[in-house]
């Protein structure tokens, strides 16, 4: 199938992205870390592409997102931005680039924008980082928040389990979401929280909520591209649906190639100069 699966091929900007909620349009977001995949998913109609710091897990094989550096994120983000024509492109600020001080956060945010060509940056946290979020937005940079399971804090949480089950954490999350909206964020990702809480946050905000493991009441959904395409067999949390089985498609294709090389049928006469 060629071309976009959506009628409107106009570039999605931060304002159009935020307006999608008021227009009742659900937002489909996927992660990507490279040019080739960004081109494919952009043409297939995703509204937004996230260069997640999950690149640390998916591309580099780390157990957490903490090891990925600013330089490495810049490399991934630049590659994705070159491939995306229509989608709103969001890049994660990696661990350590905005937690040290407001000034440091703004400096790193400016560098990410200058060197990559992405449309927006995503930061994990609420009240703890709100001054930095304000500073980045004041510098003219769109920001997407991220609450609930914030993987950069995995060692504080003690694991990747469901967040905000208890009333106190749920209340803090709702108040953080409102703070992020007041600060000028264009959206908030809600990761691995009870669906009922995600619905409450979604109803309380004018900006879109993008859920992952947060039920279907959010204004949009995000998944890791490799996970939803079935490339990572060992990872199947409850919230994940496999929309394809690329693990099988790739092993079948590679198996056919290996057989053809070994039995001498590749390349054939038409494939030679
Ligand atoms: O890094 C990432 O892929 C993310 C999504 C899971 C939201 O932050």
Instruction: Say if residue 237 is in the same domain as residue 265.
Output: no
How far, in Å, from the CA of 264 to the mean position of ligand 1? 44
How far, in Å, from the CA of 74 to the mean position of ligand 1? 16
Instruction: Say if residue 100 is in the same domain as residue 55.
Output: yes
Beta strands in 18-119 (DSSP E): 27-31, 48-51, 88-92
Q: Which residue ranges have their beta carbon within 6 Å of ligand 1?
A: 31, 50, 52-54, 92, 189, 191, 212, 222, 224
Measured by CA distance, the residue closest to atom 8 of ligand 1 is: 52
Instruction: Say if residue 268 is in the same domain as residue 170.
Output: no
Between the alpha carbon of residue 129 and those of residues 60, 134, 205, 237, the distances in Å are: 27, 9, 19, 29
How far, in Å, from the CA of 224 to the mean position of ligand 1? 7
The answer to whether 146 and 173 have CB atoms below 8 angstroms apart is: no
Q: Read off the pLDDT of residues 1-44 as tens digits, 9 standing for 90 and up.
A: 545 667 788 999 999 999 999 999 999 999 999 999 999 999 99
Question: Whats the size of the chain, residue-wise?
Answer: 273
Residues labelled as active-site residues: 191
Task: Kindly state the tokens that stand for 157.
Answer: 């949480």
Q: Read off the pLDDT of residues 157-180 as tens digits, 9 standing for 90 and up.
A: 999 999 999 999 999 999 999 999
Instruction: Say if residue 174 is in the same domain as residue 231.
Output: yes
Instruction: Say if residue 251 is in the same domain as residue 122.
Output: no
Number of domains in the chain: 2
The whole-model pTM stands at 0.97
Task: Kindly state the tokens that stand for 26.
Answer: 């659900």
Instruction: Say if residue 139 is in the same domain as residue 258.
Output: no
Angle between helical axes of 130-138 and 167-183 (0-180°, round to 10): 20
The answer to whether 191 and 149 have CB atoms below 8 angstroms apart is: yes
Sign of the torsion formed by the C-alpha atoms of 171, 174, 178 and 184: positive
How far, in Å, from the CA of 262 to the mean position of ligand 1? 41
Residues 6+ apart with CB under 8 A from 129: 98, 99, 105, 123
Domain span at 252: 245-273
- The residue whose CB lies within 8 Å of the most ligand 1 atoms, and thus the one to mutate among 123, 144, 151, 214, is 151
Mean pLDDT of 192-218: 98
CA pair distance 136, 132, nearest whole angstrom: 6
104: in domain:
yes
Measured by CA distance, the residue closest to atom 1 of ligand 1 is: 52
139: in domain:
yes
Instruction: Say if residue 259 is in the same domain as residue 124.
Output: no
Instruction: Say if residue 175 is in the same domain as residue 265.
Output: no
Q: Read off the pLDDT of residues 59-116 as tens digits, 9 standing for 90 and up.
A: 999 999 999 999 999 999 999 999 999 999 999 999 999 999 999 999 999 999 999 9
CA pair distance 241, 167, nearest whole angstrom: 29
Instruction: Say if residue 263 is in the same domain as residue 146.
Output: no
Measured by CA distance, the residue closest to atom 2 of ligand 1 is: 52
7: in domain:
no
1: in domain:
no
């Amino acid at each position: 199938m060629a071309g976009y699966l959506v009628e409107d091929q106009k570039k999605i900007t931060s304002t159009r992205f935020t307006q999608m909620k008021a227009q009742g349009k659900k937002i489909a977001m996927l992660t990507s870390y490279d040019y080739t995949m960004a081109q494919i998913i952009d043409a297939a109609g995703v509204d937004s592409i996230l260069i997640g710091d999950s690149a640390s897990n998916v591309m580099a094989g780390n157990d957490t997102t903490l090891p990925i550096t600013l330089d490495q994120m810049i490399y991934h983000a630049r590659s994705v931005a070159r491939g995306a024509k229509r989608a709103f492109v969001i890049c994660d600020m990696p661990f350590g680039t905005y937690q040290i001080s407001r000034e440091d956060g703004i400096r790193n945010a400016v560098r990410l924008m200058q060197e990559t060509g992405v449309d927006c940056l995503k930061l994990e946290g609420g009240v703890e980082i709100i001054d930095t979020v304000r500073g980045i937005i004041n510098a003219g940079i769109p920001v997407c928040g991220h609450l609930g399971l914030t993987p950069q804090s995995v060692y504080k949480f003690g694991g990747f389990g469901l967040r905000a089950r208890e009333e106190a954490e749920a209340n803090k999350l709702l108040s953080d979401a409102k703070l992020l909206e007041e600060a000028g964020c264009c959206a908030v990702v809600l990761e691995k929280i009870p669906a009922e809480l995600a619905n409450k946050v979604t109803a309380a905000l004018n900006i879109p909520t993008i859920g992952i493991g947060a039920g279907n009441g959010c204004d949009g959904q995000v998944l890791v591209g490799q996970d939803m395409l079935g490339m990572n067999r060992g990872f199947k949390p409850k919230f994940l649906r496999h929309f394809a089985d690329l693990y099988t498609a790739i092993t079948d294709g590679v198996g056919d190639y290996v057989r053809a090389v070994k039995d001498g049928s590749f390349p054939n006469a038409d494939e030679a100069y």
